[in-house]
Amino acid sequence: MSCHSTDNWHEVEGQSREILGEELAAFIGGCRTGDEPASHLIAVLHKVQGHFGYLGAAHLDAVAQLLQVPAAKVAGVASFYHYYRLQPRGRFLINVCLGTACYVKGADRVAQKLRDELGITFGETSTDGVFSLEASRCIGACGLAPVMTVDDDVHAQVTPDRVPVILEQYLQQTRRETERS
Amino acid sequence: MSQKQQVRVTIDETELTVPAGTTIMEAAEQLGIYIPRLCYHPDLSLAGSCRVCIVDVKGMGHFMASCSQAVWEGMEVQTTSPVIRQARRDVVELILDNHPKDCQTCERDGNCELQNMAYTMGVRERLFEGRRKQFPLEDSSASVVRNAEKCILCGRCVRVCAEVQGVYNLSQHGRGFTTVVGPAALSPMDESVCIQCGQCINVCPTAAFLEKSSTERIWQALADPALHVVVQTAPSIRAAIGEGFGLAPGTPATGKMVTALRRLGFDAVFDTDLGADLTIVEEAHEFLARLKEGPLPMITSCSPGWINFLEKFYPDLVPHASTCKSPMSMLSVLAKTYYARQKGIDPKRVFMVAVMPCVAKKYEAARQEHVDETGIPYTDAVLTTRELTWMIQCYGVGFRALPDGEFDSPLGTASGAGDIFGTTGGVMEATLRAASRLITGKPGPRIEFTEVRAVEGLRETYVAIGEHNVHVGVANGLTNAKVLLDQVASGAKKYHVIEVMACPGGCVGGGGQPYPPRGVKVLDPDLLRKRGGALYQIDEGKTLRESYENPAIAELYENFLGEPGSEKAHQLLHTRYQAKLPRGIR
């Protein structure tokens, strides 16, 4: 054949490897050459989220190319499972308990206050990148209801009024961290 | 060989024996029982998502979806009863619950499967008033418009895109109430791997997928006295348009279609089939050159959905595509050069409308490869068969009573080889008719090459022409095409020429063809065969059956193009394609 190559695979593969990094690319490469590459999709997504903290559109596309599973399928799976985060995680992860005990003690009002203060809803990250908000069903601390956690800190008997105070202490911590760096 | 195990079941008090694995719905059909269904399609995988086809299975305590539940030994099924009737009506009412209430102004009014289902099930009042879906209209694509608010999540589009076309552009994203169908990352359709074939539109039971309408622009053009509005109709339009006016599928309606177009006010009515004849002459020359210099196989390039697929999914095979423009694009070029000059009209005043069985043609018309040196597209607007049908109805033209009309010269005479372009294997057969004459230097001993009519979707064979034994492959539906393309990419097989049509059955099954009449499934192989049969019938009825014999083509070369493969022909009638992103997973 006398014509020059119109194949763009090396370019597409190179970009995908760059997005995910060599270690993940090698792992996915192993999955791809085995039987039923698509059956490894969930495990691959776990690993990618473990590395980046979330699954962005570019990560998902790169997974699709390197695993050779259609991008729509990858995105469909990632958006179906509650565990996968499609947006970057903030510096702090807020988890407000909406289990029965917390709920009857007013967790819904706490949750609403959090959404109002941060301007986001569950599964989202505040525009300044400081907070991500999640809701969970019972964290096993019903005696302290209503409860919210910020990373590993547990805040007990939270009222809507206390929400801004709690948030402020993490904002201060973020400011200190920024100054130091 | 072990015989498949048989099971005995009782359906509505009648006992029958069927092979294990048969579904309740299939078994019931053997007894002549038609269970209502919505998400089910016989050519697609089972979804079991709509729950309309529920039946009562003794001892289960809950209804079961008959489309997806296999029968078991001794199963007793009741397909209908007052309770089941009520339950099915409730199911449909719940599907309607968050569906817009705009039937009268909806594009699918009168041929919407959901509307029809609601009527059939007896929903006369909407008792449930749920939250409505709110999604923006997605109309970034030149061809396909997505209205997620009308989607009932039956998943047929997702399945046809993956299973029939091998494109996998669509998926259901998210969960529960906010579930939405779309491309990866819910990106705009024109940034996705969508190839714009429009099969999602064909299988959608509602108006959640539609073609991007061009009718308004055409009404405006027709009303503009400064414009000379010309129209061309693709081979497969004449084989399908009658269906929109109650003619039986497979009834050729060429003459009525031509008259209807004149009544709409078009200044000239041309035949894309002449463009097809020209494509064949150019392509046969290209093929002879490639037999000597490669690259082989040469792959046909008439189907714009296929070209989109090639550029995104098989970019390595792009050099194999024939450089010939499609019949539509060739004819449009001629209308604005040859015809305009002959008529003494400024080409800028010529407004070229193409009636196509295809939504991807809307994209082809807008491609940079098909604009003139001042940036004006050669094809100004593309109408689907459905859009033209509506325009004829809207204008108050009584189609069935129309007298037969004739296409206008100089772009109106076509051979039978041009007609059969509209069905699978047609381009191949037309090419073989022409190549046969070109190689042997005389009219071929054979006119018909029935062995390339790939009605089943995929075919490979050898055809003897002179001393050549030509290895040909024909595929329709891109999942079928992938089989041939993978063989080419890996070098496993050495074809000389391959015909690919993106849509099942070729253009007769295109994404812009009429929605089938009630009771007939879209993509029904029988319906596609009838439409294809109409084209073979037209071909057989002609004395002109080979592109080289067409006097209009001879005249065109003599007065305008020079000879096949000339510099002028190359400049006007040929083009090249390139790899495009995003790259599809094949």
pLDDT tens, A36-91? 999 999 999 999 999 998 999 999 999 999 999 999 999 999 999 988 989 898 99
| Residue B104, CB-side half-sphere exposure with 13 Å CA sphere | 0
Q: How many CB pairs below 8 A link A and B?
A: 84
Helix (H) or strand (E) holding A176: helix A162-180
Contact B585 A70 (CB under 8 A): yes
CA distance B420 to chain A (A): 32
Torsion over CA: B253, B256, B258, B263 (sign): negative
Q: Which of A4, A7, A28, A63 to mutate to test the interface with B (most CBs of B within 10 A)?
A: A7
Q: Is the pLDDT of residue B35 over 50?
A: yes
**CB contacts, 8 Å: A64 with chain B:** 184, 585
Q: Is any Cβ of chain B less than 8 angstroms from the Cβ of A5?
A: yes
CA distance B294 to chain A (A): 6
Structure tokens at B258: 């031509």
Q: Check residue A1 and give its pLDDT.
A: 40
Contact A3 B319 (CB under 8 A): yes
Residue range B284-306: mean pLDDT, rounded: 95
User: CB-based contacts of B395: which residues, under 8 Å, 6+ apart?
Assistant: B263, B264
Of A9, A61, A68, the CB nearest to B184: A61
Residue range A104-123: mean pLDDT, rounded: 95
- Secondary structure letter of residue B26 according to DSSP: H
Work out the mean pLDDT of chain B and round it to a whole number: 95
Contact B316 A6 (CB under 8 A): yes
For B63-120, how does the pLDDT look when each residue is reduced to its tens digit (9 = 90+)? 999 999 999 999 999 999 999 999 999 999 999 999 999 999 999 999 999 999 999 9
Q: Is any Cβ of chain B less than 8 angstroms from the Cβ of A64?
A: yes
Q: Is any Cβ of chain B less than 8 angstroms from the Cβ of A12?
A: yes
Residue B112 · residue B206 · CB < 8 Å: yes
Considering the candidates B113, B138, B243, B286, report the single residue annotated as catalytic. Answer: B286
CA distance B175 to chain A (A): 6
**CB contacts, 8 Å: A5 with chain B:** 316
Helix (H) or strand (E) holding B6: strand B6-11
pLDDT band, very low/low/confident/very high, at B1 (cuts 50, 70, 90): very low
User: Which amino acid belongs to residue B479?
Assistant: T
Among all chains, which residue has been given the structure tokens 């290209």? Answer: B286
The CA distance from B303 to B457, in Å, is 15
Q: Is the pLDDT of residue A133 over 70?
A: yes
Among all chains, which residue has been given the structure tokens 């699954």? Answer: A55
> Which residue of chain A comes nearest to B585, CA vs CA?
A70
Pick B77 or B444 by higher pLDDT.
Answer: B77
Contact B173 A76 (CB under 8 A): yes
**CB contacts, 8 Å: B318 with chain A:** 6
For B413-427, how does the pLDDT look when each residue is reduced to its tens digit (9 = 90+)? 999 999 999 999 999
Structure tokens at B153: 């999540």
Of A2, A75, A82, the CB nearest to B184: A75
**CB contacts, 8 Å: A87 with chain B:** none
Q: Is the pLDDT of residue B442 over 90?
A: no
Residue range A167-171: mean pLDDT, rounded: 97
Q: Check residue A174 and give its pLDDT.
A: 95
For A3-30, how does the pLDDT look when each residue is reduced to its tens digit (9 = 90+)? 468 999 999 999 999 999 999 999 999 9
Q: What is the pTM of this model?
A: 0.93
Of B484, B465, B438, B500, the closest CA to residue B280 belongs to: B438
Considering the candidates B361, B362, B482, B530, report the single residue annotated as catalytic. Answer: B361
Contact B171 A72 (CB under 8 A): yes
pLDDT band, very low/low/confident/very high, at B438 (cuts 50, 70, 90): confident
For B13-28, how does the pLDDT look when each residue is reduced to its tens digit (9 = 90+)? 999 999 999 999 999 9
The CA distance from B157 to B150, in Å, is 13
In chain B, pLDDT over 70 holds for what percent of residues?
A: 99
User: CB-based contacts of B123: which residues, under 8 Å, 6+ apart?
Assistant: B89, B92, B93, B96
Residue range B537-558: mean pLDDT, rounded: 95
pLDDT band, very low/low/confident/very high, at B506 (cuts 50, 70, 90): very high
- Secondary structure letter of residue A86 according to DSSP: S
pLDDT band, very low/low/confident/very high, at A2 (cuts 50, 70, 90): very low
Helix (H) or strand (E) holding B500: strand B497-501
Contact B187 A57 (CB under 8 A): yes
B286 is catalytic: yes
The number of angstroms, rounded, from the C-alpha of A74 to the middle of its chain's C-alpha atoms is: 16
**CB contacts, 8 Å: A71 with chain B:** 168, 183-185, 193, 582, 585
For B194-204, how does the pLDDT look when each residue is reduced to its tens digit (9 = 90+)? 999 999 999 99
Q: Is any Cβ of chain B less than 8 angstroms from the Cβ of A3?
A: yes
For B225-282, how does the pLDDT look when each residue is reduced to its tens digit (9 = 90+)? 999 999 999 999 999 999 999 999 999 999 999 999 999 999 999 999 999 999 999 9
Q: B492 burial class (0-12, 13-18, 19+ CB within 10 angstroms)?
A: exposed
Q: Which of B159, B168, B193, B314 to mutate to test the interface with A (most CBs of A within 10 A)?
A: B168
- Write the DSSP string, B106-119: STTTTT-HHHHHHH
Torsion over CA: B134, B136, B139, B140 (sign): negative
